[in-house]
């Protein structure tokens, strides 16, 4: 092979590797470990966010994802090496709850930068090789320490004078594929371990350390700060900073770009899917949730809720559907809260009211339009031979109820009686005051978490205090309890 051909091949490889964090990771993962990096959609999401940091579009980034989902591989080991490839003068500070873990990561970054494969493409030379602190001949470096340790004599990013403008910046060491002024970052990976997250003292110590020390170790206000962690508590570092400084696109003046990647998700059709089936299937995630609901919701769903703050703080009762106990008064009913706004869910539940409680048989829980929900609900009422259908007539509920009744009669169902009523009581107060009755009187079919996963998540994570994103599920469960013992009213009163 000629020298010219070798140079051309090196240039092509270098150009491809420098196009994105994901390309860089794929190339050097194969070189370092002799096997391909298995790319999933969540890897692309993470790497795209890191590319925005490289391009200067994002200065503060939070990534919340489960353990063992490649976050350290991408954000610490490869992103740092990628930074040195772009600019050998880059300066990184890396923190983790364990100094040993931080220094192990530091060694892997160092191994990549000094590897033969890296040196074939990039001219980066180290002047020291300590795991805790090492430097490049261009003035860059890497400092690894625990989140509770001391960070002295080292700052992340480039030192920039107050009056420096773009014309004064020397781009000689930067790649030409986009105008990047990237020169390093503060990288925080799991700043507190799970066992310590429930301790107010240990958790607040980490948050205080960030405020008093870590955030000040930047050489410029433009130095990025990236936090990657599994959520462990509402007031862990990510929760603390979200409250303190806000989230872009959510809070006015929010400072942090937030990316949350729950392991168990629902698609546009309401079907469950796993974030990374190669790691955990939907069924495996269900088993994890059954074994430890709190750990699953925090570490794997990125949904930290304090156990003591949940509205429904114990498991709901279940029964082997379709076996409903016969009592002196079994009545087929449904209760519906139609969607008030575009972000609301329509929630309609068919159930059998018995002397023992309300036995849920079917649930329609969706944000789809009325063109879908009206005939769907009519089918559900016919299927379960519902005798009384309660529909909250607030806002668009009255029109919705009339249309559903028309659809019901078209299906030949002349049995169901419609009770459209105005719900004027405060929803939050109703849900709170009736929560114990809901827990005591509501029975779900066994496996209801799989049958209606979105509804299950909304109900089991509903909080007593604070702002809940959706209250449609708890509202309907509350209404079902409130309507116990009532018979449907004459529908002619409402038409």
Does residue 7 carry a pLDDT above 50?
yes
Q: Does residue 289 sit within a domain? A: no
Is there a single domain that holds both residue 235 and residue 323?
no
Q: Is residue 102 part of a domain?
A: yes
- Residue 252 has what pLDDT? 87
Query: What is the average per-residue pLDDT within 411-426?
Result: 92
Pairing label, strands 358-366, 346-353: antiparallel
* Any domain includes 24: yes
328 & 208 share domain: no
| Percent of the chain residues topping a pLDDT of 90 | 68
Domain containing residue 207: 3-160+174-261
- The residue among 376, 382, 407 whose CA lies nearest residue 332 is 382
User: Is 242 within 8 Å of 76 (Cβ atoms)?
Assistant: no
Return the closest-CA partner of residue 223 out of 156, 123, 138, 131. Answer: 156
> Is residue 210 located within the same domain as residue 73?
yes
Q: Are residues 225 and 322 in the same domain?
A: no
Whether residue 7 sits in one domain with residue 97: yes
Q: Is the same domain home to 252 and 345? A: no
DSSP state of 345: P
* Mean pLDDT, residues 117-144 taken together: 93
Reply yes or no on whether the pLDDT at 167 is more than 50: no
Beta strand 272-274 pairing with 331-337: unpaired
Answer whether residue 371 is part of any domain.
yes
Q: Is the pLDDT of residue 22 over 80?
A: yes
First to last CA, the chain: 87
Residue 226 confidence (pLDDT) above 80: yes
pLDDT at 294 over 90: no
User: Which of 44-48, 103-107, 249-253, 417-421 bottoms out in mean pLDDT, i.e. has the lowest?
Assistant: 249-253
End position of a domain, from candidates 261, 280, 299:
261
Q: Which of 71-80, 119-128, 165-174, 281-290 has the lowest mean pLDDT?
A: 165-174
Both 447 and 339 in one domain: the answer is: yes
pLDDT, one tens digit per residue, over 377-398 is 999 999 999 999 999 988 778 8
d(CA 100, CA 373): 55
Would you call 170 exposed, middle or buried from its count of C-beta atoms within 10 A (0-12, 13-18, 19+)?
A: exposed
CA 318 – CA 360 distance, rounded (Å): 9
* pTM exceeds 0.85 for this model: no
Q: Which residues of 305-329 are buried (b: 16+ CB within 10 A; e: fewer)?
A: bbeeebbbeeebeebebeebeeeee
Q: Indicate the average pLDDT of the chain.
A: 89
Task: Give 491's pLDDT tier (boundaries 50, 70, 90).
Answer: very low
> Are 215 and 353 in a shared domain?
no
Q: Is residue 36 part of a domain?
A: yes
For position 162, what pLDDT does the model report?
46
Q: Is residue 380 part of a domain?
A: yes
Whether residues 253 and 325 share a domain: the answer is no
What is the pLDDT averaged over residues 452-480? 89
Residue 250's pLDDT is what? Answer: 87
Same domain, 351 and 249: no
Mean pLDDT of the region 271-287:
94
- Residue 319 is inside which H or E element, if any? strand 317-319
Q: Long-range contact list for 193-200, CB < 8 A, 24+ apart? A: 193/97, 193/98, 194/230, 194/232, 194/295, 194/299, 196/97, 197/232, 197/233, 197/236, 198/233
Based on the fold, state whether residues 232 and 122 are members of the same structural domain: yes
Q: Is residue 77 part of a domain?
A: yes
402 falls in which pLDDT band (50, 70, 90)? very high
> Residue 185: which CATH number?
3.40.50.300
| Claim to verify: residue 361 and residue 218 sit in the same structural domain | no
Domain count, the chain: 2
pLDDT value at 494 more than 70: no
- The pLDDT of 47-71, averaged and rounded, is 96
310: in domain: no
* Residues contacting residue 479 through CB under 8 Å, at least 6 positions apart: 335, 337, 390, 392, 423
CATH (domain of 466): 3.30.420.240
* Structure confidence at residue 467 as a pLDDT band (50, 70, 90): confident
Paired tokens of 225: 């700060």
In the chain, what percentage of residues exceed pLDDT 70?
91
Domain boundary among 261, 282, 297: 261
Q: By mean pLDDT, which of 37-46, 102-111, 159-168 is the weakest?
A: 159-168
């Amino acid at each position: 092979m000629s020298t010219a051909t070798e140079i051309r091949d090196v240039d092509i490889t270098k150009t491809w590797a420098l196009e994105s964090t994901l390309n860089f990771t794929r190339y050097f993962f194969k070189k370092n470990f002799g096997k391909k990096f298995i790319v999933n959609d969540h890897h692309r999401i993470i790497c795209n966010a890191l590319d925005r940091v490289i391009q200067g579009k994002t200065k503060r980034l939070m990534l919340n994802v489960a353990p063992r989902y490649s976050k350290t591989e991408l954000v610490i080991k490869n992103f740092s090496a990628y930074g040195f490839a772009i600019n050998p003068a880059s300066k990184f500070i890396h923190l983790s709850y364990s100094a040993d873990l931080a220094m192990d990561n530091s060694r892997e970054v160092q191994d990549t930068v000094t590897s033969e494969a890296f040196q074939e493409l990039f001219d980066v030379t180290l002047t020291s090789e300590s795991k805790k602190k090492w430097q490049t001949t261009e003035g860059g470096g890497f400092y690894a320490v625990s989140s509770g340790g001391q960070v002295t004599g080292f700052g992340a990013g480039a030192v920039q004078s107050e009056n420096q403008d773009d014309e004064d910046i020397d781009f000689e060491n930067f790649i030409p594929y986009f105008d990047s002024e990237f020169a390093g970052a503060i990288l925080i990976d799991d700043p507190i371990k799970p066992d310590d997250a429930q301790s107010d003292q240990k958790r607040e110590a980490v948050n205080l350390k960030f405020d008093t020390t870590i955030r000040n170790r930047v050489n410029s206000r433009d130095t990025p700060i990236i936090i990657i962690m599994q959520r462990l508590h509402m007031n862990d570092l990510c929760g603390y900073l979200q409250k303190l400084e806000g989230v872009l696109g959510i809070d006015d003046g929010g400072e942090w770009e937030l990316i949350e990647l729950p392991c168990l998700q629902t698609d546009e059709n309401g079907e469950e899917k796993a974030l990374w089936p190669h790691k955990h299937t939907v069924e495996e995630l269900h088993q994890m949730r059954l074994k430890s609901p709190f750990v699953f919701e925090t570490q794997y769903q990125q949904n930290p809720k304090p156990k003591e703050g949940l509205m429904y703080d114990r498991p709901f009762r279940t029964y082997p559907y379709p076996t409903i106990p016969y009592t002196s008064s079994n009545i087929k009913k449904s209760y519906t809260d139609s969607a008030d706004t575009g972000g609301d869910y329509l929630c309609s539940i068919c159930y059998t009211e018995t002397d023992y409680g309300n036995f849920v048989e079917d649930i329609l829980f969706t944000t789809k339009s009325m063109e879908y929900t009206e005939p769907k609900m009519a089918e559900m009422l016919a299927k379960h031979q519902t005798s009384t259908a309660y529909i909250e007539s607030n806002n668009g509920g009255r029109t919705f109820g009339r249309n559903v009744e028309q659809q019901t009669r078209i299906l030949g169902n002349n049995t169901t009686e419609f009770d459209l009523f105005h719900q004027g009581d405060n929803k939050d107060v109703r849900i709170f005051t009736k929560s114990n009755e809901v827990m005591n009187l509501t029975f779900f079919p066994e496996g209801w978490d799989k049958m209606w996963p979105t509804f299950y998540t909304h109900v089991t994570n509903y909080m007593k205090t604070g702002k809940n994103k959706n209250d449609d599920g708890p509202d309907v469960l509350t209404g079902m309890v409130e309507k116990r013992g009532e018979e449907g009213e004459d529908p002619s009163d409402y038409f």
